[in-house]
């Protein structure tokens, strides 16, 4: 008897399939706008210099590889809380917020999902439509009831009115997931005014926000990108935040992130954190240490921090330049207005508005690889070939 006889093969992640197809394409003029990692002018995903310097220090200083605690490296936790909430946040003085280190932002989302499932029984979670597809699968796997609120409609525009009226119908007490900045997959972010309106609904419906903060520093700047998170943190008694260091520190494979919890008072925070440590024990026991120690080293050292901030600024500027560059390159084809949203969006991703058929043609006829929904990773553009990319987009847009 085979124990595995009934097991069927499931399709792989479509983005990984896209990466394979790109790799096998012999066309030297190809574009990889698929996978969600930052790329530099050479098309590489570099290790930031600040990370290399911190790693060198760690190699010299580290004396043990013994387990960290269930909440991870305390210096990392403090550094990240300062980065996300602001060093002067009254929540920190009141000991109302704490960070639990997790394997990346994905681990933080999973831990949040387990916490909601086990400790906030009966609460559903509401995701933007569209959202990062892994949100849906993580929370469903945790056994949560998953709902969606409209975000970007078929006309490829942010629809705040529809979002707000859907949130007004959400059962009181449910969890609503919000992207802090650089919305994945669309690139459409809420304005400050929109955020204030969302906050009003959250307060009126007594919803619990879970803010996914995977791209701090990739939108408008480290502080600017934290604006909405801090607005919510100040206005609400309780909040969940998932923070990822994959993109802004270039630490993707080191699996570095945290679940930040804000509670009503310091005693309740300890109650919640005891539950998180117990849940994490069943998931990964204790978190991976290396990336967190790198981040803690960079954040605690003025010189390394300066190097890192400069590198992060460069990454953000490159993406902003590419966005403007692509819109300008589309100008000669009379398409600058039609694709003006690419210049206004934030972060690495852009919902271009190209249809699945147009995406397929771009791939088949021009070796331009992007996700079937029309999501392009702007950071994957080679700025020396903007005109070539614009010509390809124009050809399929005719």
CB environment 137-175: b (16+ within 10 A), e (fewer): ebbeebebebbebbbbeeeeebbbeebbebbeebeeebb
Nearer to ligand PMP, 68 or 358 (CB): 68
Question: Could you give the CA distance from residue 18 to residue 305 in angstroms, rounded to a whole number?
Answer: 36
Q: Where in the sequence numbering do the catalytic residues fall?
A: 132, 212, 247
If one asks whether residue 32 binds ligand PMP (CB under 6 A), the answer comes out as no
Q: How buried is 285 (Cβ within 10 angstroms: 0-12 exposed, 13-18 middle, 19+ buried)?
A: exposed
If one asks whether residue 100 binds ligand PMP (CB under 6 A), the answer comes out as no
Distance in Å, CB of 104 to ligand PMP, minimum: 3
Nearer to ligand PMP, 244 or 345 (CB): 244
CA-CA-CA-CA torsion sign (207, 213, 218, 223) = positive
Tokens representing 232 are: 């919510």
Distance in Å, CB of 253 to ligand PMP, minimum: 9
Q: Which long-range contacts (CB under 8 A, 24 or more apart) does 358-364 make?
A: 358/396, 358/397, 361/395, 361/396, 362/392, 362/393, 362/396, 363/21
Radius of gyration of the chain (CA): 21
One of 89, 101, 106, 345 touching ligand PMP (CB under 6 A)? 106
Alpha helices per DSSP H over 11-73: 14-24, 49-61
Contact 129, 148 (CB under 8 A): yes
Sites for ligand PMP among residues 218-247 (CB under 6 A): 244, 246
One of 48, 70, 77, 104 touching ligand PMP (CB under 6 A)? 104
If one asks whether residue 79 binds ligand PMP (CB under 6 A), the answer comes out as no
Tokens representing 168 are: 């007004």
Nearer to ligand PMP, 252 or 339 (CB): 252
Distance in Å, CB of 208 to ligand PMP, minimum: 18
Stretch that binds ligand PMP, among 2-10, 103-111, 193-201, 318-326 (CB under 6 A): 103-111
Stretch that binds ligand PMP, among 42-50, 98-106, 265-273, 297-305 (CB under 6 A): 98-106
Sites for ligand PMP among residues 261-320 (CB under 6 A): none
Question: Could you give the CA distance from residue 283 to residue 7 in angstroms, rounded to a whole number?
Answer: 24
What is the pattern of x (binds ligand PMP, CB under 6 A) and - over residues 129-168?
---x------------------------------------
- Residue 259 host element (H or E): strand 257-262
Distance in Å, CB of 287 to ligand PMP, minimum: 12
If one asks whether residue 325 binds ligand PMP (CB under 6 A), the answer comes out as no
Sites for ligand PMP among residues 201-220 (CB under 6 A): 212, 214
One of 34, 36, 250, 287 touching ligand PMP (CB under 6 A)? 36
Q: How many residues bind ligand PMP, per CB under 6 A?
A: 13
Tokens representing 211 are: 């803010």
Distance in Å, CB of 175 to ligand PMP, minimum: 15
Taking alpha carbons only, the member of 179, 122, 121, 120 closest to residue 149 is 179
Phi and psi based region of residue 126 (left: phi greater than 0; alpha: psi -120 to 50; beta: remaining): beta
Distance in Å, CB of 247 to ligand PMP, minimum: 7
If one counts every other C-beta atom within 10 angstroms of the C-beta of residue 303, the result is: 10
Question: Could you give the CA distance from residue 229 to residue 81 in angstroms, rounded to a whole number?
Answer: 12
Contact 131, 138 (CB under 8 A): no
Stretch that binds ligand PMP, among 26-34, 102-110, 142-150, 229-237 (CB under 6 A): 102-110
Distance in Å, CB of 55 to ligand PMP, minimum: 18
Stretch that binds ligand PMP, among 99-107, 274-282, 290-298, 299-307 (CB under 6 A): 99-107
Q: Which residue is nearest to ligand PMP (CB)?
A: 104
If one asks whether residue 377 binds ligand PMP (CB under 6 A), the answer comes out as no
Question: Could you give the CA distance from residue 225 to residue 77 in angstroms, rounded to a whole number?
Answer: 19
Residues that bind ligand PMP (CB under 6 A): 36, 104-106, 132, 179, 184, 212, 214, 244, 246, 252, 257
């Amino acid at each position: 008897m085979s124990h595995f006889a009934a097991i069927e093969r499931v399709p792989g992640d479509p983005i990984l399939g896209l990466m394979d197809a790109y790799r096998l394409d012999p066309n030297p003029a190809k574009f990889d706008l698929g996978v969600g990692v930052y790329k530099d002018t050479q098309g590489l995903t570099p290790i930031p210099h600040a990370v290399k310097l911190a790693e060198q220090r760690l190699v010299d200083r580290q004396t043990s590889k013994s387990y960290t605690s269930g909440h991870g490296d305390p210096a990392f936790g403090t550094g990240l809380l300062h980065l996300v909430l602001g060093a002067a946040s009254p929540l920190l003085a009141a000991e109302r917020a704490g960070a639990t280190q997790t394997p990346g932002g994905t681990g933080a989302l999973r831990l949040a999902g387990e916490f909601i499932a086990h400790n906030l029984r009966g609460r559903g979670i509401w995701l933007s439509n569209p959202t990062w597809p892994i949100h849906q699968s993580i929370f469903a796997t945790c056994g949560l009831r998953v709902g969606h609120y409209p975000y970007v409609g078929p006309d490829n525009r942010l629809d705040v009115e529809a979002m707000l009226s859907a949130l007004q119908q959400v059962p009181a007490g449910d969890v609503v997931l919000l992207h802090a900045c650089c919305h994945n997959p669309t690139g459409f972010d809420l304005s400050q005014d929109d955020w204030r309106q969302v906050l009003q609904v959250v307060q009126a419906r007594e919803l619990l926000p879970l803010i996914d903060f995977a791209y701090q520093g990739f939108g408008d700047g480290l502080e600017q990108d934290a604006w909405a998170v801090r607005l919510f943190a100040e206005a609400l008694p309780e909040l969940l935040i998932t923070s990822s260091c994959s993109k802004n520190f270039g630490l993707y494979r080191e699996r570095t992130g945290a679940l930040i919890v804000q509670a009503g008072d310091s005693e309740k925070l300890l109650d919640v954190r005891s539950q998180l440590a117990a849940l994490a024990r069943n998931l990964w026991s204790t978190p991976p240490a290396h990336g967190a120690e790198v981040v803690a080293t960079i954040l605690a050292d003025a010189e390394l921090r300066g190097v890192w901030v400069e590198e992060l600024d460069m990454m953000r500027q490159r993406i902003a330049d590419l966005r403007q560059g692509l819109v300008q390159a589309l100008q000669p084809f009379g398409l600058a207005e039609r694709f003006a949203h690419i210049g206004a969006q934030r972060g690495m991703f852009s919902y271009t508005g190209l249809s699945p058929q147009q995406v397929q043609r771009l791939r088949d006829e021009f070796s331009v690889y992007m996700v079937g929904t029309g999501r392009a990773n702007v950071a994957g553009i080679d700025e020396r070939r903007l005109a070539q990319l614009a010509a390809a987009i124009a050809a399929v847009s005719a």
